[in-house]
Structure 1
Amino acid sequence: MAILSGPGLLYTLRLHWKKSTAGAIVFVAGGYYGIDRFRAHLIRRSYCQRAKVYSEELLSHPTDNNRRMMVFLNPAVDRGNPRKLFQKNVAPILHMAGIDVTVVESEYEGHLRTLMGYMDKGLSGIVIAGGDGSIQEAVTGLLRRTDESSIASVPIGIVPMGKSNSLAGKLFRSEASDVRRLCDAAFSIVAGQTQPLDVMSLKSENKSQPAVFSVGLLQWGLFRDTDRTLDKFWWTGRFRGFSAYLWRTIKGPWPHQRHISVTVPETQAQQSADQPGAASTVAADLRQGVDTAALQVCTPLASDDKLDQITMKIWPANVNKNSFIGYGWRKHVLRQPTEDLPTAFELTGTEFQLNLPEDEVSWFSIDGEMYEAQSVKITLLPKKLKIFVPER
């Protein structure tokens, strides 16, 4: 008796095309997920094997194998589960290298500044697992200590886990995957290669207020105020940056002009008198005061400047709307390196006195952290700290 064959596979797929399509999508997505997980596993294993080589070398020199480090982890950073990221991608590499690691989690905003005051200066290194704000808090806490000159010799490791990782972006490969960047950061700590880091000090006229320190940039005015509104446009998805910049040109006065003045030390102006666009050519105008929409002050690392100088950019009061919207599109949607809008003044030096209006409340963004804006003396502290960097 002949056995009747049923309908073929193609016929079944065509008959149930909706289920077949859904199943194919799930199958392909699961395949890509599995491949990514396997690649991440290979990356972690490779770095752990390299760290083990360092551990064996240290064990061959018993007097040099006592490496103690303290990790300060910010569990509130806006990036998945930071504890899990650290335990899965960073901790195994440090342990394989034979480093004695103690992990301390911050519990509230400003906690890292307090923790830095109790840190043992006999450590082999400090590791900051967080974003730009966490680094800024830690640096400020370190340099406010009475023994800051000795504690500054303890190298700092950066593990990028925050929403904004500008400093880490200068140190590690920006095109690498998240797993590889975390492993790169961990292995730079294991390798122990360091380089000096310039720090910017901001001291107000109120002597009762302690100085604030920055390793990146200070922002004030139009760009800073607009960037702080991005979360309000979450419903626009990846276009929230563009939406915020567009809405800023529609709502309220355009632009919100403010009057500021900048004082440049005479010695600094004289030293740069022969340079085109130098501080001496604009010092008189800035001392009298100018109207501006925004300003930005960068450390040498943040501005990619090879010289040990601060860069101050002051934008004109009449920023073009179309250029402003285009800048927001390139910065937040395309995420491409973008040329800044034309500035009215651009200064370089090691010290500035910035005077702001006292009749209205405004805010600084210092490495992503909010501080109430006021007149401040800005000073560059060259090569003040040491940070772990990738092997060259």
Structure 2
Amino acid sequence: HQAAMSVYRLQRTHWNRSVSKFNPTLYRRSTHYNFVTNRNSVKTLKQITTTKLFELYKITFIQIHLKKATVFLNPAACKGKANHVFEKNAAPILHLELMDQTDMLIIAGVITGLLRRSLHVVSNNKVQHVISATLSILKGETVPLDVLQKKSETRQPVFALLGLRWGAFRDVTCSISNYWYLGLLKTRAAHWFSGLKQWPQTHQTSLSYLAPVPRPHDLPTEIPPGPNLLNRIYHRLKNYLNPTPPKEPKPELWENKDFSTLELTVSTNSKNPVKRREADSVLITLDPDSLTAGQFITEGTKKALNPMESVENALQIEACEGASFYDTDNEEYEAMSVEVTPLPRKLWFFCSAECREQLAQAQC
């Protein structure tokens, strides 16, 4: 009885010490439980992946020639743990595939000069994402993506996968990190302070563009056999003796317009690469300059999450080629006159069958 009373007095007098000792115990137990659960999940995922890999290995070993991949990795990605994640999850799968010849490039990071864009993908389950991407590479499942080529008079060409942005929303995006101390309100605060400094934030731009061109027919997967030697000699002699007159190129019908806009965006049609389009073009979006201060903050907050999302009542133009004044794939450049040319289906990206089905079901 006396021992129980002494414990009661200790708890009543020094309750904060008891709570502080009790909390780390709970934290250690919960941490150990989460660690064991995550470890078991990763182990189960790797076992399933190994089974799929050996099934794939039996098929590919018989049907196709083995391939070797060269991996470009940005070790600074994933908070400096990209190399560890790759070596632990992706590299063993690639080694199990027994690749022998260099036939493909796998880019996982920022490769300046090859393609100026960060290729990392934000995912809550990094292990599952890395393993799924690696299996897609081994299966050879790909989708074509358009590329934008941007030329200026003073710089070398720059290539983009998403698009170009120039305007008020892009300028505010660069200053959002300055208001980190406001937490979740930093995005709205950045737009509010930007509106106090200058309003209205309209931009004058001169735009010249060509109409979209029809998409050429897809090349056959199997190359048909060529004509025999006698037919080739006959056609060579016929073209030499009776050459066809050269056709005069049709003049390009450029449309020139001046706009007053809040932001100009030039984007590719790679949002849904599975959908087939009848024409090769880029999408030019001009946000209206008639927004109120409240609408500017609301729409700017949305654009901070999805930069390529257009504002309501925005003017959209499809063009084959354009010249204007930017931000390329979230990389800042000095504003100047530039020429933008789409390169349709320039790159083929690895894509899993599940992702293809999701893209095919999308509306846009």
Q: What's the TM-score, normalizing by structure 1?
A: 0.65
| Alignment match, 1:148 | none
| Conserved? CA contact 1:58–1:65, under 8 Å | no
| Alignment match, 1:139 | 115
Structure 1 residues 47-70: Cα deviation after superposition (integer angstroms, max 9, x where no partner): 433443425753783895743222
The reply on whether 1:247 has 2:193 as its aligned counterpart is yes
| Conserved? CA contact 2:169–2:300, under 8 Å | no
Q: Which runs of 5 or more structure 1 residues have no equivalent in the other structure?
A: 101-121, 142-157, 270-282, 357-363
Match of 1:317, SS?
coil
| Alignment match, 2:162 | 216
> Relative to 1, partners in 2 of residues 1:186 and 1:233: Cα closer, same or farther, differing over 3 Å?
farther
Instruction: Give, in angstroms, the shift of residue 32 of structure 1.
Output: 4.3
More off after superposition, 44-53 vs 377-386: 44-53
Structure 1 residues 203-239: Cα deviation after superposition (integer angstroms, max 9, x where no partner): 23x2x64322111121111111111112212222333
What count of residue pairs does the alignment treat as equivalent?
Answer: 311
Q: Which runs of 5 or more structure 2 residues have no equivalent in the other structure?
A: 215-252, 355-364
In structure 2, how many angstroms separate the alpha carbons of the residues matched to 1:99 and 1:12? Answer: 68
> Relative to 1, partners in 2 of residues 1:189 and 1:46: Cα closer, same or farther, differing over 3 Å?
farther
| Alignment match, 1:238 | 184
> Relative to 1, partners in 2 of residues 1:90 and 1:348: Cα closer, same or farther, differing over 3 Å?
same
| Conserved? CA contact 2:285–2:310, under 8 Å | no
Match of 1:302, SS?
coil
Larger-gyration structure (1/2): 2
In structure 2, how many angstroms separate the alpha carbons of the residues matched to 1:331 and 1:10? Answer: 58
> Relative to 1, partners in 2 of residues 1:323 and 1:249: Cα closer, same or farther, differing over 3 Å?
same
Of 285, 291, 308, the residue aligned with 1:319 is 291
Of 340, 344, 360, the residue aligned with 1:382 is 344
| Conserved? CA contact 1:159–1:182, under 8 Å | no
Instruction: Give, in angstroms, the shift of residue 326 of structure 1.
Output: 1.7
In structure 2, how many angstroms separate the alpha carbons of the residues matched to 1:347 and 1:20? Answer: 68
In structure 2, how many angstroms separate the alpha carbons of the residues matched to 1:230 and 1:68? Answer: 43
Matched to 2:135, the amino acid is F
| Conserved? CA contact 1:203–1:212, under 8 Å | yes
The reply on whether 1:123 has 2:102 as its aligned counterpart is yes
Structure 1 residues 101-154: Cα deviation after superposition (integer angstroms, max 9, x where no partner): xxxxxxxxxxxxxxxxxxxxx633222222xxx26753369xxxxxxxxxxxxx
> Relative to 1, partners in 2 of residues 1:139 and 1:63: Cα closer, same or farther, differing over 3 Å?
same
Matched to 2:262, the amino acid is A
Structure 1 residues 220-263: Cα deviation after superposition (integer angstroms, max 9, x where no partner): 11111111112212222333222222221122x22333221222
Matched to 2:175, the amino acid is T
Match of 1:240, SS?
helix
The reply on whether 1:346 has 2:316 as its aligned counterpart is yes
> Relative to 1, partners in 2 of residues 1:45 and 1:258: Cα closer, same or farther, differing over 3 Å?
same
Structure 1 residues 261-309: Cα deviation after superposition (integer angstroms, max 9, x where no partner): 222325769xxxxxxxxxxxxx99x723112221111111237894354
| Alignment match, 1:58 | 57
| Conserved? CA contact 2:136–2:350, under 8 Å | yes
| Conserved? CA contact 2:323–2:339, under 8 Å | yes
Counting only pairs closer than 5 Å after superposition, residues 183-222 of structure 1 correspond to structure 2 as: 183-204=131-152, 206=153, 209-222=155-168
The reply on whether 1:258 has 2:203 as its aligned counterpart is yes
Q: What's the TM-score, normalizing by structure 2?
A: 0.70
Matched to 1:257, the amino acid is T
Q: Which fold has the larger relative contact order, with Cα–Cα distance below 8 Å and residues 6 or more apart in sequence?
A: 2
Identity across matched positions, percent: 26
In structure 2, how many angstroms separate the alpha carbons of the residues matched to 1:212 and 1:319? Answer: 32
> Relative to 1, partners in 2 of residues 1:45 and 1:259: Cα closer, same or farther, differing over 3 Å?
same
| Alignment match, 1:298 | 267
Matched to 1:126, the amino acid is L
CA RMSD of aligned residues (A): 3.8
